[in-house]
Amino acid sequence: MRLSRKAAGFVAAATLFTVVVPAAAAVASPRSTCYGGRVCLYAGFDYNRGQIDHWRDFIKDDSDLSDNNWLNWDFSNSWHSMDNETSSVRNRVGCSVTLWQHAEFTGAHSTFTHNSNDGFLANNAIGNNRTSAIDIWCR
Ligand SMILES: [Ca+2]
Ligand SMILES: [Ca+2]
Ligand SMILES: [Ca+2]
């Protein structure tokens, strides 16, 4: 009796887990969405539309993106370095964010206010495929 209740509970928990995880991944497909409280960087223009969906979100500063890899659409590791590859950005983090050309927050840079989107960094000071550090002003 006790054993079967436990077994049933385990099955229910396992079912909940398998249902929730794929749903979260599908919703998050960062091509179209960036969660509140995060800054999302994309390897392609226009938030990767029509391109390989290499992306990553941040909740705090990162002074050197050379040790960060892009994520794939399903949150798996692309094993592809983020350094000098950012082409578009969405900011939902709650404050301004500055992208920097070089590690440790130096060189050319551009600042993006909360709730802003820029699908084309080639016409910003930071430029296309140059970002090497991200400064999140509120964290
Ligand atoms: Ca890093
Ligand atoms: Ca732009
Ligand atoms: Ca750089």
- Residue 101 CA: which ligand is closest? 3
Query: 67 alpha carbon to ligand 2 midpoint, in Å?
Result: 25
Please, which pLDDT band fits residue 33 given cuts at 50, 70 and 90?
Answer: confident
pLDDT at 16: 45
Closest CA to 139 of 105, 103, 95: 95
Ligand nearest to the CA of 61: 1
Domain that holds residue 131: 2-136
Both structure tokens of 81: 């370095």
- pTM assigned to the model: 0.79
Ligand 3 ion local residues (Cβ < 5 A) = 84, 101, 130, 132
Average pLDDT over residues 88-112: 97
Domain with 97 in it: what CATH number? 2.60.20.10
Query: Domain total for the chain?
Result: 1
Distance 67 CA to ligand 1 centre (A): 5
Question: At 31, is the pLDDT very low, low, confident or very high (cuts 50, 70, 90)?
Answer: low
Per the prediction, the chain carries an average pLDDT of 84
Query: What proportion of the chain, given as a percentage, has pLDDT over 90?
Result: 70
